[in-house]
Amino acid sequence: ENPIRNPTMTTSRSLSFEFFPTRTPEGRAKQILVRQELKQFNPQFFSCTSGAGGSTREGTLQTVRDILNEQTPAAPHLPCIGMLENEIVELLQQYKDIGVNRLIALRGDIPSGTGFGMEGLRYANELVALVKQKFGDHFHTIVAAYPEYHPQSQNAADDLRYFVQKVNAGADSAITQYFFNADAYFNFVDDAQRAGVDIPIIPGIIPVDSFTKLVRFSDMCGAEIPRWLRLKLYSYADDAESIRAFALDVVTHMCERLLQGGAPGLHFYTLNRADLSAEICKRIYGAPAK
Ligand code: FAD
């Protein structure tokens, strides 16, 4: 049997879905339904993003509580930039107290025009070290990886070196920025393994159905939209149905290639929607048992 079609056969393969905090009670209620739908695929956890400098602290905490109430493990994202060490430890303790045992440890991005980053932790490796120093192995600590390299990186070797430093600080697994080039992922994993990294590096997947949104996100995070994909999406103009169908095919095919090539799981950037991620999961893993 094809192990990709049956995720339970490969217990080490993970599946997770990412959300961002909502701003209204209606948004929150809708998000609970979205997670209900995605839960059918048996994810290992749901994660929730957090704005650097604690800007969405309450929203992230509320989402994490909701996820735990739904009996699913929750992984808050924790960008450390702009936070003092004692604030971080306090937040970690709060997470531990409500039952969180995994998190995504990040530097975050310094909001322009602010004084953030002048004090406190500077890079994600320092956060990982702090988490391990204060909480031992309590938190499964996930870090970010960039198969197409971090937008601020001037060269690949340095970026890899800093990634290895983050892993050596105690990271338990990594999730990548999204990409549309499976070879970039395989190449990055090979390089990391050659440099001694043996933690799972899980590809981050973005299901899309809007060309303009995709361009906006990708410009922000440095992910490359290949020319063929850009031109093809562009050629559909306002034909939303065709964009959706094409994008689902492209992303599903890439997920299958990643899993067949040994990727240890998939992490979906859901953008708080169930439909696209669910459709891709159905195609890859089969429809969930009712
Ligand atoms: P780091 O690993 O610290 O690296 C940042 C940059 O500094 C890189 O260019 C690296 O090469 C360089 N660097 C690292 N260490 C050193 C060193 N010792 N000396 C010099 N240079 C160094 N952002 C949010 O604000 N909130 C979120 O919820 C969020 N979730 C994310 C989830 C995932 C899966 C991913 C992939 C990214 C997420 N981000 C989030 C974005 C992330 O915060 C940004 O990409 C940020 O710019 C880098 O964070 P990092 O943890 O990768 O940083």
Active site includes 18?
yes
Q: What is the pLDDT of residue 4?
A: 55
CB within 8 Å of 276: residues ≥ 6 apart: 207, 208, 209, 244, 247, 248, 270
3-state secondary structure of 99: coil
> Which portions of the chain are predicted below pLDDT 50?
1, 6-11
Q: Name residues contacting ligand 1 (CB within 6 A).
A: 49-52, 77, 79, 104, 106-109, 123-125, 144, 150, 152-153, 159, 162, 166, 175, 177, 204
ipTM here: 0.99
Q: How far is the CA of 212 from the centre of ligand 1 (A)?
A: 24
**What is the SS3 string spanning 194-254?**
HCCCCCCEEEEECCCCCHHHHHHHHHHHCCCCCHHHHHHHHHCCCCHHHHHHHHHHHHHHH
Q: How far is the CA of 177 from the centre of ligand 1 (A)?
A: 10
**36-69: pLDDT as tens digits:** 999 999 999 999 999 988 778 899 999 999 999 9
Atom from ligand 1 closest to the CA of residue 105? 51
The pTM of the full predicted model, rounded to 2 decimals, is: 0.95
Q: What is the pLDDT of residue 10?
A: 47
Alpha helices, H only, the chain: 25-39, 57-69, 85-98, 124-135, 156-168, 182-194, 211-221, 227-235, 240-260, 275-285
**64-88: pLDDT as tens digits:** 999 999 999 999 999 999 899 999 9
Q: What is the pLDDT of residue 120?
A: 83
